[in-house]
Chain A
Amino acid sequence: MAEPYKIVIGLEVHVQLLTKTKLFCGCRNQFGLPPNTATCPVCLGLPGSLPVMNRTAFQLALRAALALNCQMASFTKWDRKQYYYPDLPKNYQISQYDLPFSAEGWLEINIHPDPKKGHTPKRVGIIRAHLEEDAGKLLHDESGRGGDSRVDLNRTGTPLLEIVSKPEMNSAEEAVAYLEEIRLLMRELGVSDCEMQEGSLRCDANVNLHIPRSDEPHGYAATPLVEIKNLNSFRSVGRAIRYEAERQFSAFQNDPQNYRIGRLLKTTAGWDDARGRTEVQRHKEEAADYRYFPDPDLVPVTVSPEQIDAVRREMGELPSQQRVRLQTQYGLSPYDANVLTAKGRPMVAYFEAVATILNDGKQASHRISDLVFPALSERNEEMESFPIRATEFAGFIQATATLSKQDRVDLFTHMLEQGVNVAAAMEATGLKPATFDEATLRAAVIAAIGNNPKAVADYQSGKTAAANRIKGEVLKANKGAPNDLVQRLLEEELAKQ
């Protein structure tokens, strides 16, 4: 590795579930409603109100955990995590403590720095995944005039899946790839829309370094753990980890005896995206005492093997399975299979339709990445609304087989911009395959036969491959001429010799 240290990263990811209603009440689970309009006695924590578990949320969570290869608990319960904060009206959060519904899973991540080298799969262990209710939002006065803070409790009680990874990622790229894979998986499964901007995917990163030192008992020195919060985009996750690793390395170099895990306490740091640096928020003096205990208002949940089987049956193909299938069924490279999968199910369906019509997976994949990927990103459009559907695209590929790559791109752009079909686009742009009438080609064949007496002689002596030399000359002079027509004319004329 380039750096003189190994980064060790564990991620705590919170994923908001795509349910119609909240985790313990019937209020809408929807982003962007006017403040405090999606609330009721239960999520407001009004005296006397009681929570009732949302079965759909639990099902979604089961689906997610199965996809993360987790062990599923047959018995799980709800606990109260207690702390005082104004975004938490009950001053406790209903969560899961010692008996989460799932634990001990793994996720395969795909790092693809270079298409030519292909991707490098890696398994990242999952410690646990559990369900909990979200807190509300505090809106502080940022004018500096010390105005009151406001509380919006619409988010209070929305279902969150917390996924805790093992500290098994060793680069910012791996951490980002892990997050991308979680997002892809959750979206494909319909578990979450995973919009980091809207907070439906949140991530805290625990980072420290192992610095090789031959005189250390384990062969390395470990720096103190730092938990980075306030990571609002995939980009900021990568930047924050890279920054923090460098910061820890220089801190260690400045004080190699004391800047060590065990000597210094774990700290929490916020990522300041504008300044591009982590800022220490607080030292964790000791483990916060959340006084967890089983919530007496809720009953434990039992999960049978039959229920798990039913969830598994409904789950459909996972991205990891899809990558393998695209390779075996369509002959794609691991890299191409990975790229297509990462684009989501509608793109894969598009690809499969095109590949089937063309009867050529590789060609379909390459044409889609040449033409459709850039068009989508340029138009800022989703696959579902892309105007050129798979059948038309396959027809376009067939009709433009003899055109140069640039002509094809121009033609495709014209179709999209003008909203016309391939025939109209060809007519308008003049970019179309040359046409050849049989008489002209026959004359060219006869001329080529005349130019190649040796090839004719070889052919007649039984070396039929010699005919290819003559055909090559005809095709070279008549770019785009249909191969099968030239072949037929050549065979007819050679027979006359």
Chain B
Amino acid sequence: MPPKMTLPSGRCLGGYLAGVAAVAAATLFLSPLSFSLSGGGVTVASVLLLTVVLTATTWGVGPGVLSALIATLCLNILYTGAQTTTGDQVIGSAAFLLTAFMVGRLSTRARRNQWVKDPSVAINQASDRASDQASELEAAKRNEQFKSILLDTVTHDFRTPLTSIKAAATTLLKRDPSLSPSQSRASQKLIETIVQQSDRLDQFIEGMIELAKAESASGRSEQATESAPLEEIFAAALSRAEDLLRHHRVTVTCDDDLYVAANPRAIAQALFSLLENAARYSPPGTGIHITASLHNSDSIDVAVEDEGPGVPPDLREGIFEKFVRGSGPHERAANEQGLGIGLAIARGIVTANRGTIRVEDRPARRRGARFVFTLPAGAHVSTLQPERALRARA
């Protein structure tokens, strides 16, 4: 059934009050954590950010921005015990405000699309009552269209500002002879932070989009399954992860002519998430090994092995849940880098493509973790074969 939307009019004041109340509640709820901030800082920030996002989604830009302001104040005043610098606070506050603004605009636009552009709302309500099969199918189709409009909007509205931010920051990286060497070092470091963080935000958006697409596709009965060459999926994931994998030795072992019956872009995203995870939780200089092989005649195993501390057996189910992360000494530092959502994205995508995913020890008692997903094998589509025999000319 299509989601029933209500117009946001007449709820303005209520929205602002609710936004303030939500942040206040979250702050009260979090206050017992405040004294242990060095470990819980990310948790506090995440919960507050979530509150801001929910406010902006439900009540729009204004209340969202107000709650973002209050949330950053709470974060910066109540929880300033930790080693945060003014730079951190400014970047943090900017991120909160930007998120509130964009989410608010998006949800308002999504509602407007539903109401103004799409006269189907009234029809949908009628069809709810009539609920014969044809109109239900029709409604499901419209729901899909709505989701796809939303995804396109997210892609466009998030990436356009990111493009300006990244292009501007990378321009600044090179110049400004007027600064003293120490000023210049400091500003370079801040600018590098902007570049890295906008890359991270972009990768994160990409992951969410692929997950949303995979989930919405798996709900459709007429889901078209492509047959995709694994080597292209590997190339896509590896080129996206190139920067992350800079400090690791990467090996790839892939049988020729392996095809999976799955959406290649989504699987590339799942593989990227596993590579990101491996790079984050294993020390620099160690190896990351990617392998693909036939599991049996109709399925294929793709594995990412790292040489990090591994995943203890009792965590192996939970590690694929959203916001679950390791808690060992090495993991704590690594946790600062991520939201604990990559493996959840990987599992969501693999499951939506009729596959399974698991984590195990590396074979032969070697140190490290081995993440494996199994997907249905795809059919070869080629009919034209280039010359096989090596008729080399001198």
Q: Do A and B come from one complex?
A: no
